[in-house]
Chains A and B, each alone.
Chain A
Amino acid sequence: MSGAPTTPAPSGASGSRSRDSRRTTPRAATASRVGFAGPVLRDDAWRGRDFSGQRVAVIGPGDEVARIVPSVIATAARVKVFQEEARWLRPPGPPAGSLGGSVARLVTTPIGQVADLLGVAGPVDRLVGERLSRRHLRRSVDDAWTRRLLTPHRRFGARGTSVERDYYRALADERCVLVAWPVYALVTDGVRSAEGVEHRVDVVVVTAGSRLRATLQDTDRSEEQSR
C-alpha cells in the first residue's frame, strides 16, 4: 500500500501543497531504503505529503519529532513516534497582539533586561524555562509514565529548546503511540526496536538529527558503489 518507489519520488507527491516542495533539496526528496520496502522520508520530505490510509513511523529526538508529528497525524491512519531522546519543549506563549501576550511582554521584558545587566540571564532562563516546561507537560499529558518518557535527563538549556505546538495533543490521539525504545533496524515491513517487537508501518520519516542518519548514509554509499 506504500507503493515502494524504486526511483526517487518528488516530495509532496500528493501535489496539493507545491509551495512546500520548494523548501526541500533534491537530496531530501529521495526515498531511501535500509531493507525497508516502503519510502524513507528525510529532512522536509514529509511536508505536504498525504499519508491517508498509511501507518507512519516518525524517528528522531524529541524536539524534532514534536515538529513533525502534528502534521503527519492530520492525514495518517496511525503514527508511531520513536523518540530517541527526550528534549525540553517550552510552552507556546500567548499569540502576539493578544492582551495576554502584551501583558506577558510587559512583565518579562524588564526582568530579562535586568537579568541581562546582572549577567544572570542564562541561569534565570534555565530556572524559569525548566519550571514552565515541566508545568506545561504536567497540564497537557495525563499519564505519569508518558510524562516521564517525555522529560529529558539533561538540564534545561543544555541543548536548544523548541516550543511545543500541538505535539502533546497529537500524542493523546488514539491513532498515535509514543515509543521510547531504541530503534536498531529498518526491515522489509517496518521498524525493529530493542524491546523485541517489529512495528509494521508503510512509511518511515527520519528526522535530520536522528541517530539513524549515519546508518542511512552508509547504505546510500554502498548502493552507489554497487551501481
Chain B
Amino acid sequence: MTSTTSAATYDFDAMLQTIKDKQWSLADIDWEAPGAELMTPDLRAKMKPFLADLVWIEHVGARGFASLATKAPTSTIAEIYRYFHAEEQKHANAELALMKRWGMLDEDGSVPEPNINVKMAIKTLDDFGDSLPLTGLATLIPLLECALDGALVKFLLDEVPDPVCHEVFRHINSDEARHIAVDFQVLELIGAGPLHKLLIESIGNLKPQVVLGLIVVFVPLINKMRDNIVAMGLPEQKLYNAVKRFGTIGGRGVHTARIPAYHVLKAQAAMIIDRTHPYHRFLADPLVKVTSFVPARVLGKPQSWTEELTHEPVAS
C-alpha cells in the first residue's frame, strides 16, 4: 500500500484490547496432566540446559520491555509494553513450570543459575537499561523475538512430545505473534519521524563506553546460545529463516528502512547465522572465551527483578 498506511492507521488501542482479552494464566494449565512420562531421560538431560537458557533469555527480554515502556511514543503503547513485560515474565514462569514438571529443578524448586553471559546482560540492563536509546532497543527486541519464536520454539516443539508443553507454547506463540506485530508497527512509527531526529538519536546517544559494553555483553551471549542450540541439533537453516523473517517483515514497512539501527542489526544478524563469516573468528569466539573467565563476583548483586521468577501458578 502507500506510505500513509501502517503506522498512521494502525489501531494500537484495538491491539491493547486484544492483548487484554487474550490473557492466560499458569493456573489455566493442568501441570499434572499425563504426558510427562513421554520425556525420556536422554531428552530430559538434553533439554535441561536449553530450557534454563530459554527461561533466562525470556526474563532478560522482559526487562527490555520494561525499559521500552519508559520511552514509548504514546501512553497506549506504554501500556502495551507494560503487558508485554508481564507476558515475557509469564513465558519465563511457564517454562520454569515445565522444567518443574519434568523434574529438572532441585528439591526446593529454585531457579537455575544463569550463565556468566546472562549475568553480564543483567548487569548491563541494571546499569544502562533505562538510558539506552529507544530506536536501538525497539529494533533489537523484534530481532530476538523472531529468532526465539521462529527457531528455538519450533525446535523445542519438534523435539518434545509432551502435550502440556505444546499447550503452553500455543499460548506463548500467540502472545509472541502480537509482540512481533506491535514491535514492527512501532518501528514504522519511529521511522516515520523526521530523519534528523533519527540520526541525532542514533549517533548522538552513542556513548563509546556503552557501545563497547553492549558488544562485549551481547555478542558472546548470543553466540554461546547460538552454538549451544546448533550443537543440540537445531538445523542452521531454521536460524537463517528466522532472521530472514526479520528482514521480510521489516521490509514490508514503508518507514522502517529509515532507522539506522535496523540496518546495523540486520547486518549483524546475517553475520551471526553465517558461521564461516570472519565475525565469529575475530570477534564473537574470542569474546565467548574471554567472558568465560569473568568471575561473577565482580558483577555484584543483581537487582531484585531477577528474583521474581516463579513456577507456582498460585500465590497467596
- A interface vs B, CB < 8 Å? 55, 78, 143-146, 148, 153, 181-182, 184-185, 190, 192-201
- The answer to whether B303 and A198 have CB atoms under 8 Å apart is no
Chain A residue at minimum C-beta to C-beta distance from B171: A196
| Cα–Cα, bound, A201→B35 (Å) | 32
Interface SS of B by simple majority:
helix
- The answer to whether A184 and B310 have CB atoms under 8 Å apart is no
Interface SS of A by simple majority:
mixed
A198 partner residues in chain B, CB cutoff 8 A: 25-27, 313-315
- The answer to whether A196 and B90 have CB atoms under 8 Å apart is yes
A55 partner residues in chain B, CB cutoff 8 A: 316
Query: Can you list 10 A-B contacts with CB-CB less than 8 angstroms, sorted by A residue number?
Result: A78-B316, A144-B126, A146-B304, A181-B89, A192-B25, A194-B90, A195-B86, A195-B89, A197-B315, A198-B314
A201 partner residues in chain B, CB cutoff 8 A: 316
Choose among B87, B303, B314 the residue that contacts A197 (Cβ–Cβ < 8 A): B314
B20 partner residues in chain A, CB cutoff 8 A: 184
Chain B residue at minimum C-beta to C-beta distance from A201: B316
- The answer to whether B82 and A196 have CB atoms under 8 Å apart is no
| Cα–Cα, bound, A143→B25 (Å) | 28
- The answer to whether A153 and B90 have CB atoms under 8 Å apart is no
Q: Scan B288-313; emit 1 where CB is below 8 A from any A CB, else 0.
A: 00000000000000011100101011
Chain A residue at minimum C-beta to C-beta distance from B89: A195
CB distance from B35 to the nearest CB of A (A): 20
- B interface vs A, CB < 8 Å? 20, 23-27, 69-71, 78-79, 82-83, 86-87, 89-90, 93-94, 126, 130, 303-305, 308, 310, 312-316
Given A144-B303, A196-B26, A182 contacting B316 (CB threshold 8 A): no
- The answer to whether A197 and B304 have CB atoms under 8 Å apart is no
CB distance from B25 to the nearest CB of A (A): 5
Given A55-B316, A143-B304, A153-B78, A196 contacting B24 (CB threshold 8 A): yes
- The answer to whether A196 and B78 have CB atoms under 8 Å apart is no
- The answer to whether B305 and A196 have CB atoms under 8 Å apart is no
Chain A residue at minimum C-beta to C-beta distance from B302: A145
A197 partner residues in chain B, CB cutoff 8 A: 25-27, 93, 310, 312-315
CB distance from A38 to the nearest CB of B (A): 13
A199 partner residues in chain B, CB cutoff 8 A: 314-316
| Cα–Cα, bound, A185→B23 (Å) | 9
A192 partner residues in chain B, CB cutoff 8 A: 23, 25, 27
A145 partner residues in chain B, CB cutoff 8 A: 303-305
- The answer to whether A182 and B25 have CB atoms under 8 Å apart is no
Choose among B23, B78, B315 the residue that contacts A184 (Cβ–Cβ < 8 A): B23
Choose among A148, A153, A185, A200 the residue that contacts B315 (Cβ–Cβ < 8 A): A200
Chain A residue at minimum C-beta to C-beta distance from B21: A184
CB distance from B310 to the nearest CB of A (A): 7
A184 partner residues in chain B, CB cutoff 8 A: 20, 23
| Cα–Cα, bound, A184→B21 (Å) | 8
Chain A residue at minimum C-beta to C-beta distance from B23: A184
| Cα–Cα, bound, A153→B134 (Å) | 14
- The answer to whether B90 and A195 have CB atoms under 8 Å apart is yes
| Cα–Cα, bound, A130→B86 (Å) | 28
Given A145-B304, A184-B23, A193 contacting B70 (CB threshold 8 A): no
| Cα–Cα, bound, A193→B130 (Å) | 24
| Cα–Cα, bound, A144→B310 (Å) | 20
| Cα–Cα, bound, A196→B96 (Å) | 12
B303 partner residues in chain A, CB cutoff 8 A: 143-145, 148
